[in-house]
């Protein structure tokens, strides 16, 4: 009986981490503790902790006199919406959440357990980085964590939630994972902090501007989603998990819906503006087509000229890549190519069918884009579409010009089905530019060159700027009324559900990184 009392006391002491004073300091910063975060995110009473008593074995700098069970990270497993997940949460109240040899070993163990079980793994990161007192042992620990991240890539979903500082080597495990979440104001990510930057380059910048949630979700494109506080961020993690499967051998959960698969959407028949240069909001179309108008967006604040999100059609998850005419007229550029390519590859890894919605006038022109490597970055997007073997459907709602015709998944690059609305315009380039080239001599010799140019522009538009020429050649499988879009997509994805496609035997391809 005494031993049971001792066990209970030990576990109560371990649950306090670095002590009540440090817990209070964590709360004063607007942050939850590691255990509070796990309990909030997982289903009630589902968390089972492992390696509770693990501590470091360092004897440097007096560390042998400062041992705290758990070693600054809480690890274990539980459920979210009754699905098994593995989780670890760094405890900032213990050594500032710094990673040492034993701390890393706990993470590696839960990573390996997640791989064996085929369960998603969620990392709640709140760490000052490597534990300096342990030197190479800490550095080696990071390497083992990174290696497991790489082994797990494409096998189980890996989600990293930055909930405090994340500096130096600590940023690379999140960077290798599939999705990164950050919390406004309280989370930071950077390789070198403001002080180091100032001492080396003379640049003066705050930690927030250098590596805060707003910076990484809008400027760098490192982060996929952010929340206003710990709870909102963890709620979003739960929401994301509802759209994705446990591992690469499963498909996402089918959710019951009261939204009819036969539902027509009359508003879509007049959705596209009559003026070709007029913009509209692609989010409205996505909402009208999806079950109950719901979607979960990845990277909503970065490269806004393309939308990457998950929706459900008749209860089944679909990954959407869609042009956004409201931003840069929907042109493709460096950032949106990277954003979409990564999203496509995630969906392909985890058996999530893909929908491309195209209204794209081309690639964004300019010296900055060319010098920045738009050729290389744009090729990533083509590679991702061509590599993906999941069901792929494209709907062309308005413009689909030039190379961007392939960038939104053409029949030739690998779309299983390509549909078009009657408003679709498919062409090698815009009518004005094409007429200037094709009819150059006629225009120059005319009595009224401008009048002749306008005539030839109209002639070119009448000939090519409709979906029917492409439909004649099988590049478009059908042209239908916009109001039928939802039900046509549901029928098509149902048909493609048994699709089987494999690539030639190889170690792996060489994506143009």
* Mean pLDDT, residues 369-388 taken together: 96
Please indicate, yes or no, whether residues 51 and 146 belong to a single structural domain of this protein.
Answer: yes
Q: Same structural domain for residues 445 and 417? A: no
Q: What is the pLDDT of residue 14?
A: 83
207 shares its domain with 91: yes
The 10s digit of each residue's pLDDT in 406-417 is 999 999 999 999
Backbone angles phi, psi at 24, to 5 degrees: -60, -40
Kind and range of the H or E run holding 231: helix 230-241
**Band of pLDDT at residue 59, cut at 50, 70 and 90:** low
Is 315 found in the same domain as 183? no
- Tell me whether residue 247 is in a domain: no
Verify that 165 and 208 share a domain, yes or no: yes
Q: Is the dihedral of CA 307, 474, 413, 467 positive or negative?
A: negative
Read off the pLDDT of residues 427-447 as tens digits, 9 standing for 90 and up. Answer: 887 777 777 787 787 777 777
In the chain, what are the helix, strand and coil shares in percent, each to the nearest 5? 45, 20, 40
Domain membership of residue 513 (yes or no) is no
Banded pLDDT at 232 (limits 50, 70, 90): very high
Contact partners, residue 421, CB within 8 Å, separation at least 6: 272, 395, 396, 397, 398, 467, 479, 480, 481, 482, 485
- According to the model, what pLDDT value does residue 135 have? 66
The region of weakest confidence among 69-78, 94-103, 237-246 is 94-103
Give me the mean pLDDT over the 177-198 stretch. 93
Reading phi first (left if > 0) and then psi (alpha if -120 to 50, else beta), residue 460 is in alpha
Q: Is the pLDDT of residue 385 over 90?
A: yes
Size of the chain, expressed as the number of residues it contains: 513
The answer to whether the CB of 152 falls within 8 A of the CB of 158 is yes
d(CA 296, CA 313): 13
Q: Closest Cα to residue 330, out of 355, 357, 310?
A: 357
CA distance 209 to 194: 9
With respect to residue 39, please indicate whether it lies within any of the assigned structural domains.
Answer: yes
Q: Is residue 256 part of a domain?
A: no
* Average pLDDT across the chain, whole number: 92
Q: Domain check: are 303 and 221 in the same one? A: no
Q: How confident is the model at residue 323 (pLDDT cuts 50, 70, 90)?
A: very high
Query: Catalytic residue among 135, 168, 315, 433, which?
Result: 168
Residue 348 lies in a domain: yes
Label residue 58 by pLDDT band (50, 70, 90): low
Confidence of residue 230 (pLDDT cuts 50, 70, 90): very high
Residues 366 and 379 in one domain: yes
285 in a structural domain: yes
- The pair of three-digit structure tokens given for residue 433, joined into one six-digit string: 């530019």
In Å, how far are 129, 132, 135, 512 from 189, measured between CA atoms? 11, 19, 22, 26
Domain check: are 17 and 163 in the same one? yes
> 177 lies in a domain?
yes
pLDDT score of 124: 97
Mean pLDDT of all residues in 72-80 = 95
Q: CATH number, domain at 405?
A: 3.90.226.10
Question: What was the pLDDT predicted at 64?
Answer: 63
Domain co-membership, 186 together with 233: yes
181 in a structural domain: yes
Dump pLDDT digits (tens) for 105-152.
Answer: 999 999 999 999 999 999 999 987 777 666 677 778 889 999 999 999
In the DSSP assignment, the letter for residue 237 is H
Residues 338 and 374 in one domain: yes
Report pLDDT for 437: 81
Q: Is 169 a catalytic residue?
A: yes
Tell me what pLDDT residue 502 has: 85
What's the mean pLDDT in 346-375?
Answer: 96
Is 108 exposed, middle or buried, given 0-12, 13-18 or 19+ CB atoms closer than 10 A?
Answer: middle
Instruction: Count how many Cα atoms sit within 13 Å of the Cα of residue 350 in the half-sphere of its side chain.
Output: 28
Instruction: Kindly state the average pLDDT of the residues 196-200.
Output: 90
| Model pLDDT for residues 462-487, shown as the tens digit of each residue | 777 889 989 999 999 999 999 999 99
Are 353 and 475 contained in the same domain? yes
Q: For residue 215, count CB atoms less than 10 angstroms from its CB and return exposed for 0-12, middle for 13-18, buried for 19 or more.
A: buried
Q: Which listed residue (128, 169, 402, 407) is catalytic?
A: 169
Catalytic option among 404, 427, 471, 492: 404
pLDDT score of 61? 58
Supply the range of the domain harboring residue 446. Answer: 430-464
CB atoms inside a 10 Å sphere around CB 496: 15
- Gap between the Cα atoms of 165 and 194, Å rounded: 13
Which pLDDT belongs to residue 79? 98
- Average pLDDT over every residue of 356-360: 97
212 is catalytic: no
Say yes or no: 460 and 488 in one domain: no
- What is the distance, to the nearest Å, from the Cα of residue 324 to the centroid of all Cα atoms in its chain? 17
Number of domains in the chain: 3
């Amino acid at each position: 009986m005494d031993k049971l009392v001792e066990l209970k006391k030990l576990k109560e002491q371990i649950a306090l981490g670095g002590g009540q004073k440090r817990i209070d300091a964590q709360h004063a910063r607007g942050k939850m503790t590691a255990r509070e975060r796990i309990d909030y995110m997982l289903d009630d009473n589902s968390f089972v902790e492992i390696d509770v008593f693990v501590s470091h074995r360092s004897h440097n700098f007096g560390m042998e006199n400062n041992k705290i069970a758990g070693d600054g990270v809480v690890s274990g497993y539980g459920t979210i919406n009754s699905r098994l997940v593995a989780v670890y949460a760094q405890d900032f109240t213990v050594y500032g959440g710094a990673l040492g040899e034993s701390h890393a070993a706990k993470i590696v163990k839960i990573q390996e357990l997640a791989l064996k079980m085929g369960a998603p793994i969620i990392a709640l990161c709140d760490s000052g980085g490597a534990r300096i007192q342990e030197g190479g042992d800490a550095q080696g620990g990071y390497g083992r964590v990174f290696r497991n991240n790489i082994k797990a890539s494409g096998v189980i979903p890996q989600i990293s939630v930055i909930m405090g500082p994340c500096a130096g080597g600590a940023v690379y495990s999140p960077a290798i994972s599939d999705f990164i979440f950050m919390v406004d104001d309280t989370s930071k990510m950077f390789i070198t902090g403001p002080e180091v930057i100032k001492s080396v380059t003379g640049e003066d910048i705050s930690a927030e501007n250098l590596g805060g949630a707003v910076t990484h979700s809008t400027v760098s494109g490192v982060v996929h989603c952010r929340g206003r506080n710990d709870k909102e961020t963890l709620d979003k993690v739960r929401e994301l998990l509802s759209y994705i499967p446990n591992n690469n051998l499963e498909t996402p959960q089918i959710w019951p819906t009261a939204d009819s698969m036969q539902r027509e959407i009359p508003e879509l028949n007049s959705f596209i503006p009559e003026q070709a240069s007029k913009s509209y909001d692609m989010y409205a179309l996505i909402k009208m087509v999806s079950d109950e108008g719901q979607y979960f967006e990845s990277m909503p604040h970065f490269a806004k000229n393309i939308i990457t999100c998950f929706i459900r059609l008749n209860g089944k998850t679909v990954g959407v890549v869609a042009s956004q005419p409201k931003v840069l007229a929907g042109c493709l550029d460096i950032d949106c190519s990277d954003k979409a390519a990564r999203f496509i590859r995630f969906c392909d890894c985890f058996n999530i069918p893909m929908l491309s919605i195209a209204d794209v006038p081309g690639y964004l022109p300019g010296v900055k884009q060319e010098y920045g490597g738009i050729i290389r970055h744009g090729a990533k997007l083509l590679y991702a579409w061509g590599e993906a073997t999941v069901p792929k459907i494209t709907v062309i709602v308005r413009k689909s010009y030039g190379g961007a015709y392939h960038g939104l998944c053409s029949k030739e690059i690998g779309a299983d089905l390509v549909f078009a609305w009657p408003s679709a315009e498919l062409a090698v380039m815009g009518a004005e530019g094409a007429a200037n080239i094709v009819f150059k001599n006629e225009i120059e010799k005319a009595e009224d060159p401008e009048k002749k140019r306008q005539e030839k522009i109209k002639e070119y538009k009448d000939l090519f700027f409709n979906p029917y020429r492409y439909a004649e050649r099988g590049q478009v499988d059908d042209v239908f009324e916009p109001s039928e879009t939802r039900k046509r997509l549901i029928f098509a994805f149902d048909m493609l559900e048994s699709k089987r496609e494999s690539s030639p035997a190889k170690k792996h391809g060489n994506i143009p990184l």
